[in-house]
Amino acid sequence: MTSVLRNLFNHRNLLFQFVQRDIVARYRGSYLGLVWTLVQPLVMLVVYSFVFSVIFKVKWGNAEGVSKLDFAMVTFAGLIIFQIFSEPMYRSTAILSANSNYVKKVVFPLEILPTSAVFSGIILNMFSMIILIATLFFYQYPVGWNLLLIPVLILPLTLFTLGFSYIVTTLGVFFKDLGQAMGIIMNILFYISPVFYPVTAVPKEFQIYMNLNPLTFFVESFRAITIYNTQPNWMNYIVMLIISLFLFFLGSTLFNKSKETFSDVI
């Protein structure tokens, strides 16, 4: 882990350039450019809100009098957190194969590739956060100083995502089918994460399994901070921070020990 962190720090300018390249390359040639970072989540929000709250008439838990706007806001908050995690997972499966010219360079710090994918995803989803917060202000939700806790929550989420990204990147080199399987895995994870429903809506005998899903903590805590103007459960936060640090250690160690063989496989 220390080797990975040292490489990232020593090549921080290169990391910044790759993050910038990722963001620019994603929308190069399109007329709307970065506007797509706002359009895509908004379209998803409208479609999902219509399907679940209008067609299926899903309520937020057992709450009465919850408006479609309330449903849209809590759903949007859940989507933001899920996208921060899921987007790098999709990219990590083949990110080294797609950049094989860098893999074959002896002096290139390969940690830059999956790390830049995670950071660029966080930055792009910050636009969605801005939309969410602006909407909450506009409709006079009880927004308060707890918004300052967003970076505190993003810290373990970043470590957690980085750890998984290093693992997926490493496995993706040796198991090409992982790219196909990742779509199935993310779809399953999407529906077992409390994006469209609170944990309390799940039968009690299954809630323990829901809470074992790390994204449950991040989604629920982000909603608490942004929409309900409350603080996350700090004991759970400490536990999740420790888990995220361990996963980052595990992923970075696996990546670091395997990277010398990448050029032979790709």
51-66 residue pLDDT tens: 766 776 666 655 555 5
Question: Which domain does 107 fall in, by range?
Answer: 2-265
Judge whether 93 and 178 are in contact, CB under 8 Å.
Answer: yes
| Separation of CA 69 from chain center | 24
Residue 194: what pLDDT? 92
pLDDT in the model for residue 61:
57
Per the structure, the count of domains in the chain is 1
Q: How far apart are CA 72 and CA 51, in angstroms?
A: 11
Predicted local distance difference test score (pLDDT) of residue 1: 66
What pLDDT, on a 0 to 100 scale, did the predictor assign at position 6?
85
The pLDDT of residue 71 is 81
Give the residues of the chain that fall short of pLDDT 50: none
Q: What is the pLDDT of residue 108?
A: 83
How much is the pTM?
0.89
pLDDT reported for residue 57? 65
With a CB cutoff of 8 Å and minimum separation 6, the contacts of 102 are 108, 110, 113
